[in-house]
Chains A and B, each alone.
Chain A
Amino acid sequence: MEQQSQHRANLPDAVLLQPIVATRSSFYYLALALLGATSFAFFAWVWQLRQGLGVTGLNVPVYWGVYITNFVFFIGISHAGTLISAILRLCDAEWRRSITRAAEVITVLVLFFGVGSVIVDLGRPDRMLNVLLHPNFRSPLLWDVCSISLYLTASSIYLYLPLIPDLAMLRDYGGKYTWFYRILALGWSGTDRQRRILHRAISVMAVLVIPIAISVHTVVSWVFGMTVQPMWHSTIFGPYFVVGAIFSGIASLIIAMALIRRIYFLQDYLKPIHFNNLGLLLLVMALLWFYFTFAEHLTTFYGNEPAHLIVFYSKLTGPYAPLFWSMVVTCFVIPVALLSRARTRTVTGTVIASISVNIGMWLERFTIVVPTLSQPRLPWAKSAYSATWVEIGMTLGFGATFIFLYMLFTKFFPIVSIWEVQEGREQAVPEVVARVRSYLPGTVATTGQSEE
């Protein structure tokens, strides 16, 4: 007991536990508003279940619309976390310490909404389990089922492992729900052996999670790429979607960090330098995204195949042109303008760029899904697609529910990894000094070599 209270007083990062210890009334108001949107989405879903998918704006030939756009979008955002945090961990990027947790939570939570988007898109969600009972492994949709379940499992483990020491800290802290943290902490006491095992496990998961994450979005793109439909049937789609996913993932992470920083007063942990570094990553992805988009469209244009060109022109000059060009502005012009100058690569600047990127990436997914479907090869009578209140309500509800769950997470678990920040403070500084020394000529440093 004595040790416990001593522990409590000595906590140097007490502000990180503040969101768990105390909850302001504004939290409840916001939660209520978000849950309002959730229940609206639930109402819309029940309505759709009772009536049939006819209540959406979908038609022949636009059989997929906002729901599938949301599916690709949410799965894209899920790359925020795990992939970015895994890459930063493996690269020993020391500035990662306070942002990895925020990123990993996004991944795990948003995956449910990606899967949920497909489920609400099904005509018969009651028969959903047929994918397990009667799987057809030739279908790219089944590849999705496999890789997304694997990704959800791996990223949940990858979120949980670095949480263990913090859970133990909460257990010893003696606040609310101690029993809950005791179960989850798995008897962590911070011995050297435990630390060694944990580090090893985190490294293994970080390595594992990268190919899984890449496979997830590649397979999502193959849902389109494996058909023969014009402008879906493209070999570039795998890497194109992965780039787009990391792009919107980083953008979502920046937005989440900015909110956490402001609401929980964590300016000391999520500093402008973090936003600057992530902003640079976002800039690289914006350029890569433009390169892929340009290559994809130029190839189609030069190929000059009539069926492809009809879709091509419907995007560039036709009915989807407003969406297409908004996408170019929001995914490329705005972020590059803001992020390429250090003066605007501030917290506000990166947040504006990130919001713009997320809008643009949603539009990108929409302009991939819908124009191809609306221009079938045979000249059947076409009808325009516009989403109904059911689809819009469900989209907003999904977004709101995601934010609500994220908020809820911050109320039970520290959103900035406390032990990793402490470890950084205590061990990483001398380690980095030694590492940098080892790069220089004329020195033989043992620590530097063991790092690799």
Chain B
Amino acid sequence: MPRWGMAIDLAKCTACQACIVACQSENNVPCVPPEEAARGRILSWINILPELEGEYPRLTMRLMPIPCLHCDSPPCILVCPVGATGINPEGIVRQTFSRCIGCRYCTNACPYTRRVFNWYKPEFPGEFSQALNPDVSVRPTGVVEKCTLCHHRLLQAREEARAADRPLAEGDYVPACVEVCPAGAMYFGDLDDPASSVAELARSPRAFRLLEELGTHPKVIYLAQGEWSSGTTESTSR
């Protein structure tokens, strides 16, 4: 059984936000009007977290793309009163939109704030309504949604592999954000397969996980940016 995970190399990431756009169109994430966005109600499953480091005048801005981290022990799934969210055997933290009662307990329990809520009826203005992905359901008002690691792509890839009578190979199943990344900063694969690129990157001295100290065991691994010599001291000190 694979354990799907992602690695994001911050040394390569240009923060171009193509991953956000790809995710938005792949997963039918609705557009939010500007005035609602200003109120902090942007719906996006992956977002760029700006983090200022250092002190003036030696400031650096670190920009990290953060999807749902698909923790191995996710605090969000414990608290859902109706079991609308859970972790599947392959490590994907799922959300059952049709069962969610919209209590938003999971959004509050997630230490990464990586769950979003449908405040209004989803809107797909103009041509967006013609460009919906038929593989992904559009969520109704009042439910919580989140990154599914493009689970529908896994189902597709598995079907295709079965049709071709071969096992699922690395690269068969890749979420939209990883596929689109122009800088090649995002990697995806089976963390339990020692030969996979993500497993290899996870062992890198530059590898770190967000808020590891909370014991959530995220499956999205970051590779710290450092000196061009693929820094050792800075990254391992994280």
Partner of A60, one of B99, B101, B113, B142: B113
Chain A residues whose C-beta falls within 8 Å of the C-beta of B109 in the assembled complex = 227-229
Q: Which residue of B lies closest to A54 (CB)?
A: B119
Q: Does B81 contact A (CB under 8 A)?
A: yes
A207 on the interface (CB 8 Å rule)?
no
A123-B101, A227-B109 given; A60·B40 CB < 8 A = yes
Contact A228–B41 (Cβ < 8 Å): no
In the docked arrangement, what's the CA distance between A59 and B42, Å?
A: 9
Rounded to whole angstroms, the CA-CA distance of A58 and B82 in the bound complex is: 22
| C-alpha gap A168/B70 in the complex (Å) | 62
B39 touches A59 (CB 8 A): yes
A379-B49 in contact (CB<8A): yes
Interchain CB contact under 8 A, B142 and A122: yes
Within 8 Å of chain A (Cβ to Cβ): is B2?
Answer: no
- A117 to B: closest C-beta gap in Å: 12
Asked whether any CB of chain B lies closer than 8 Å to the CB of A212, the reply is: no
* B8-16, B19-27, B72-80, B171-179: which lies at the interface: B72-80
Q: Chain A residues with Cβ under 8 A from B100's Cβ?
A: 123-124, 127
B120 and A141 form a contact (CB under 8 A): no
- A63: B residues at CB distance < 8 A: 104, 107-108, 117
With A123-B102, A123-B103, A377-B111 in contact, is A228–B75 under 8 Å at CB?
Answer: yes
Does B83 sit within 8 A of A, measured CB to CB?
A: yes
A134 and B103 CA atoms in complex are apart in Å by: 15
B116 close to A (CB within 8 Å): yes
**Chain A residue at smallest Cβ distance from B82:** A130
- Which residue from chain A places its CB closest to the CB of B109 in the assembled complex? A227
Look across to chain B and name the residue whose beta carbon is closest to the beta carbon of A133.
B82
Nearest-CB distance from A88 to chain B (Å)? 35
Who on chain B is nearest to A118 by CB?
B103
Q: How far is the CA of A228 from the CA of B47 in the complex (A)?
A: 22
Q: With the chains together, A141 CA to B79 CA distance in Å? A: 7
Q: How far is the CB of A168 from chain B (nearest CB, A)?
A: 42
Contacts of A58 on B, CB cut-off 8 Å?
A: 119
Q: Shortest Cβ distance from A84 into chain B, in angstroms?
A: 30
Q: Could you mark each residue 173-211 of chain B with 1 if its beta carbon is under 8 Å from any beta carbon of chain A, else 0?
A: 000000000000000000000000000000000000011
- Tell me whether A317 is interfacial, beta carbon within 8 Å: no
Q: Is the CB–CB distance between A123 and B50 below 8 Å?
A: no
The answer to whether B78 touches A139 (Cβ under 8 A) is: yes
Given contacts A123-B104, A138-B78, contact A130 B99 (CB under 8 A): yes
Bound complex: CA A142 to CA B105 (Å): 11
Binary flags per residue of A60-103, CB closer than 8 Å to B gives 1, else 0: 11011000000000000000000000000000000000000000
**Interface stretch (choices A169-177, A380-388, A406-414):** A380-388
**A131 adjacent to chain B (CB < 8 Å):** yes
| Cα-based distance from A226 to B75 in the complex (angstroms) | 9
CB distance from B177 to the nearest CB of A (A): 18
Is A420 positioned at the interface, with any CB of B under 8 Å from its CB?
Answer: no
B121 at the interface (CB under 8 A from A): yes
B81 touches A228 (CB 8 A): no
Q: Is A121 an interface residue (CB 8 A)?
A: yes
Q: Is there an interface contact between A123 and B79, defined as CB atoms closer than 8 Å?
A: no
Q: Is the CB of B117 within 8 A of A53?
A: yes
Q: Which residues of A contact B81 (CB under 8 A)?
A: 131, 135-136, 139, 141-142, 145
Interface contact A122-B102, CB-CB below 8 Å: yes
CB distance from A49 to the nearest CB of B (A): 9
Instruction: Chain B residues near A226: list those with CB within 8 A.
Output: 78-79
> How far, in whole Å, are A53 and B108 apart by their CA atoms in the complex?
16
Known A-B contacts A59-B41, A130-B82, A140-B79; A228 and B111 likewise in contact (beta carbons under 8 Å): yes
- In the complex, are the beta carbons of B143 and A124 less than 8 A apart? yes
CB-CB under 8 A from A139, the residues of chain B are: 78-81, 105
Tell me whether B236 is interfacial, beta carbon within 8 Å: no
Tell me if A128 is interfacial: C-beta within 8 Å of chain B: yes
Which among A53, A227, A376 is the interface contact of B113 at CB below 8 angstroms? A376
Q: A127-B102, A139-B79 are in contact. List 6 more A-B contacts (CB 8 A).
A: A59-B40, A124-B100, A130-B101, A140-B79, A227-B79, A378-B66
Q: Give A residues with C-beta under 8 Å from B.
A: 51-54, 58-61, 63-64, 118, 121-125, 127-128, 130-131, 133-136, 138-142, 145, 223, 226-229, 373, 376-383
Offer 12 A-B interface pairs, CB within 8 angstroms, sorted by A. A52-B141, A52-B142, A63-B104, A64-B108, A123-B103, A130-B84, A134-B83, A142-B81, A229-B109, A377-B113, A377-B211, A380-B47
